[in-house]
Structure formats: C-alpha cells, structure tokens
Structure 1
Amino acid sequence: MNIDDLKNTWNEDVSDETPEISTEQSQKINLPLEKIRKNMRMEFWSTIGILLFGFAVVWIPFPDAPLFKFKFYLTVLLFSMVIVVSFFFSKFFKLYKEISSPMMKTYESLQDLLFQFKLNEQYYLSFILSFVPFLVCEMIIVIEFIPHPKPLSDLRIATILISAVAIGLFGLFLLGKYWYKSFYGKYVSQIENLLSKLKK
C-alpha cells in the first residue's frame, strides 16, 4: 500500500468516527444548549443578588442592632463565601463561553462537550457541598452571640453542630443533585440522546 492509499484510508476512518452534523441536527442541539445558558445566567445573577442581600442585612442600621463583632464575623464569613463562589463560577464561566460559541461540526466535538458537562456536574456538587462549613460557622456565631434564656450545655452545642454537619451534608447533596438535574441534567440528557441518534 502506498502513501496515498494510507492517507485515503485514514481520512475515511476519521470521517466514519466523526460524522458531520447537519444544520437541522445542529439546531436541535442548540435548543437544549440555549436552555442551559439561560439557566446559568439566572443562577449567576441570583447568587450575586443573594450575596448582596446578605451584606445589606448584616449592615443595615436598626434599633437594638447586634454587636459590631457579630456583624464583623458575619461579614468575614460572607467574604469567604464570595471567594468560594468566585472560584466555582470561574469554572462554570469557561463552560458558558464554550457553549455560547460552539464549534459543533463533528460528533467528536460534541462528545468533548458532553465530557465537560459531566466534569462540571462534579464541580456543581462540590460547589453546593462547600456551603456546609459556612453553615456550621454561621451556627457557631449565632450560638455565641445570640442570648439564650439559659446557657447551652457543651453537650447541647456539640449535638447542634454535629447535627448541622450531618443534615447539611445530606440535605445539600440531595438539593444539589435535584437542582442540577432540573436545571441542567435533563438538557444534557437531550443532547446525549441526539448524539446517540447521530452515531447511528
């Protein structure tokens, strides 16, 4: 077999493995991608709004305002949350940019996009679970600074914090799975189904 034959065989193999996507198929794939983009924008702006609301609530002056130390600790906690949120949203933003201008010409490029969706699903669950330590820290601050009718025993405090960790981890994990499936997972499944049809 000469060089030209080898080149032709190689090109045929590559074209078989990476079938071209028609305009009609591309449009079908763009529909769930647009839903994903829309939900990512909504979630980004909602998160920004919640963080700004948190800062506002902590520092709004009102009668019988909590101690400065209480406000300062909550502010430090909120700034820490901003750092964590910024890290994860930088990961999500890379995916958002990629699906905003997709080069969906072949089956292979879409397979790569699906791999990134799967990777971002893990980022997403990590993002949700990262709020457990903040929940625990907030409870510690509240226990320390909010007056109680009678002092809490060490056992009571330990029970509250251990319960917060256990319930927080389990609850946030379930919430993260449900939230991802509702806002992103079902659209990723649609793309997977379209790809399986394309492969046939």
Structure 2
Amino acid sequence: MNIDELKNVWNEDVSEETPEISIEQRNKINLPLEKMRKNMRMEFWSIIGIFIFSFIVCAFCQPFKLQFYITVLVASMLLVTIFFFSKFFRLYSEISNPVLKTYDSLKDLMMQFNLNKQYYLSYYLSFVPFIVCEIIIVIEFIPWPHPLSETKTVIILLGSVTLGLFFLYICGQFWFNRYYGRYMVHIENLLKEFKKE
C-alpha cells in the first residue's frame, strides 16, 4: 500500500462503519437509563439509612463484648459496601451523561452493565462471611435456658447459615431483576433491534 492509499484509508469517514443512533432510538434508550439512575439513587440512600440504623442498634447492645463484636462487624460491612458502591458510582456517572450516538457506544454501555452485574453478584456474595459471623455471635450471646450441646449448636449454625444464604440469594436476585435487570434486557433488545437495521 503506497502513501496515497494510506491517506485515503485514514481520511475515510468512520461513521460509515459505525452506524449512528437516531434521536428516536436515543429517547427509547434514555427512558430505561433514567429509571436505572433513579433506582441507583434510591438504593444508595436506603443503604445509608440501613447503616445509620445498624450503628444506632450497636450503641444499645449489651454487654460491651457483644456491642464491640457487632460494631466491628457492621463497620467491616460498611467498608465492603463503600468499595462496591464506588464501582457502582462510576456506572452511575457514565449513564448520567450518556453520549449514545453510535452502535459501538451502546455496545460499550452494555458491557459496562454486564460488568456491574458481576460486581452486584460479588457484593451479595461478600456478605456470606458476615452472615456466618452474625449467626455465631447471636448463638454465643443468646441466654439459653439450658446450655446447648455441640450437636445442637452445629445444627442451629448450619441451618441458620443455609437459610440465611438462600434468603440472601433470593433477595439479591429479586432486587437486581426488579430494579436493574429488566431495564438491561430492554436496552439489550434495543441493541438487537438496532443491529438488524
């Protein structure tokens, strides 16, 4: 390839290869994005409320040893939450000012959604050790009428952890699908529809 051909290839209009998104299609995309932003804001403020409530409850726990354990546990959960919410905030910033002019930018947005879906799953999985610790603390500090045998302790612990993890999984799936998943599916369908054109 000589220099003139290289210049011609360089100067070719890239928009011919990357189709533009029409204003009507952008409006269809912005509606689910706005709903996702609203849900992200609502989730953020709910989490803040939950942690404030948790620290207030910690302040009234007795004896001091229980109060200390629970406070450390809630503070650790807060650190994990801050880490994951910093990731979610990046996505929130991205979709707050979307520049969706081309098919490729829409594909990039979908990749970010899928990445954040994995973060969301990881966020819920990161609470598994906290659930186990909370159950152990509760079992240790509940004043039982009769001391628990080792077998009863194991059964209560395993049963509580199993039920807790199942409940966490169901809640996480429901929450994600209700507040984010259905909008992601809507945008994926728009992407497929746009690809056919």
Do they superpose with TM above 0.5?
yes
Q: Which residue of structure 2 aligns with residue 96 of structure 1?
A: 92
Cα distance in 2 for residues equivalent to 1:70 and 1:51 = 18
Cα distance in 2 for residues equivalent to 1:128 and 1:44 = 15
Does 2:48 match 1:48? Answer: yes
Note the residue ranges of structure 1 that are not aligned, 5 or more in a row: none
Q: Which residue of structure 1 aligns with residue 19 of structure 2?
A: 19
Question: Which of 111, 125, 129 is matched with 2:125 structurally?
Answer: 129
Cα distance in 1 for residues equivalent to 2:107 and 2:8 = 25
Q: 1:121 to 1:11 in 2, by over 3 A?
A: farther
8 Å CA contact 1:125, 1:173 repeated in 2: no
Q: Spell out, residue by residue over 1:3-24, the C-alpha distance to the aligned partner (whole angstroms, 9 max, x if none).
A: 5556656776843542111222
Q: Which residue of structure 1 aligns with residue 142 of structure 2?
A: 146
Cα distance in 2 for residues equivalent to 1:115 and 1:11 = 29
Q: Aligned to 1:113, what secondary structure does the other structure show? A: helix
Q: Which residue of structure 2 aligns with residue 177 of structure 1?
A: 173
Q: Spell out, residue by residue over 1:14-70, the C-alpha distance to the aligned partner (whole angstroms, 9 max, x if none).
A: 43542111222111111100000000000011011001101111214xxxx620111
Q: Report the alpha carbon displacement of residue 84 of structure 1 after superposing the two structures with TM.
A: 0.6
Percent of aligned positions with the same letter in both sequences?
A: 63
Q: Spell out, residue by residue over 1:52-94, the C-alpha distance to the aligned partner (whole angstroms, 9 max, x if none).
A: 101111214xxxx620111111000110000010011011001
Instruction: State how many pairs are aligned.
Output: 196
TM-score by length of 1: 0.89
Q: Spell out, residue by residue over 1:78-124, the C-alpha distance to the aligned partner (whole angstroms, 9 max, x if none).
A: 10000010011011001001111112111101101101101111111
Amino acid at match of 2:150: D
TM-score by length of 2: 0.90
Q: 1:157 to 1:10 in 2, by over 3 A?
A: farther
Cα distance in 1 for residues equivalent to 2:71 and 2:125 = 21
Comparing 159-168 with 84-93, which one deviates more in the overlay? 159-168
